[in-house]
Amino acid sequence: MRHHYECQLRWADMDQLRHVNNVKYADYLQEARIDFLRAVELRFSSRHDEAVPAEERSGLVVVRHELTYLAPLHFDFRPVSLEIWVSDLGRASFTLGCEIFRDGPDGVRTVYLRAATRIAPFVFGTARPRRLSEVERAALAAYVELRDAPAVPATRPGPARRSTAGHYPVHVRFSDLDPYRHVNNVTYLEYFQEGRILFNSRIWHDLPAGTPRTSVVVAQADYDYLRPMVITSGGYDLWTWVDSVGNRSAVMSSEICDGDTVMSRSRVVLVFFDSETDRSTEPPAAYRDPLVAALETHDDPGALTRTS
């Protein structure tokens, strides 16, 4: 069984290519996920719920996102459809599968995104995950839909490399927080995007005159949430580097750190894109060569200082 949700798009969700921005898909997933949890009557107490003992107050935290972008989604006043199911049900966590799609008047379905989101119950008093109760497992079990193999194999970023070009200082805004006063899981994707954009602007800052304009789109994005982020006076450091470069794509990885402590990691597959044909394309050498050069670029971590 699957849970169905209709999500209204917003004009502000679009990027410069007039597609829905890759980060916004995670926002839609969150809306559908909340609607699903209400439907299955999984209720978790707020950390400020005085009716529940402090040591028992718990919520759900996102542990990992795997997002596969299949087709560009354009703005429309019609809502977009989402279907959610349970693809894995463990003792202390569960994974929600999801598709974002539209069914055309001819009955043909266009799937824009497939996603897998790993979720775990979290106890605020002990700051530790807990097991799912039998009641919670029974509620989720009705939506279990197992597949022979995952659509996308789990991936992890390569060894971290820090460079001045890859540094982005993260300053948490009050509006970035969720009801638990942690940075909302969707906002991490915004931080990683800001870091990638700054990194790319630095390595492509001096393109030769006459270089054709080339766009880049996200094809696959995997995110691991390791520790909760909060508002701090000093902020956090985000580091981005190039893991690999292909003929039409490149893989970039990033870490958000609090000193030597890694808060979150991401691995993103970027594809060079021709907006005229809506297809992938081989980039000019002026774009590809700096990416290849960045594969071996790193600085002495001790020489790096926070910049604003």
* Segment 85-103, tens digit of pLDDT: 999 999 999 999 999 999 9
Q: Share the mean pLDDT of the chain.
A: 88
User: What average pLDDT does this structure show over 139-145?
Assistant: 94
Burial class for 218, CB neighbours closer than 10 Å (0-12, 13-18, 19+): buried
pLDDT, residue 197, reads 96
Asked if the model's pLDDT at residue 55 lies above 70, the reply is no
Give the whole-angstrom CA distance, residue 191 versus residue 238.
8
- pLDDT over 90 for what percent of the chain? 69
Burial class for 75, CB neighbours closer than 10 Å (0-12, 13-18, 19+): middle
pLDDT, residue 240, reads 97
Q: Which two tokens stand for residue 192?
A: 């990683």
Mean pLDDT highest for which of 118-127, 131-140, 289-298? 131-140
User: What average pLDDT does this structure show over 6-21?
Assistant: 93
Which domains, from first to last, does the chain contain? 1-154 (3.10.129.10), 155-308 (3.10.129.10)
Q: What is the pTM of this model?
A: 0.89
The residue among 124 and 243 whose pLDDT is bigger is: 243
pLDDT, residue 153, reads 52
User: What average pLDDT does this structure show over 148-177?
Assistant: 80
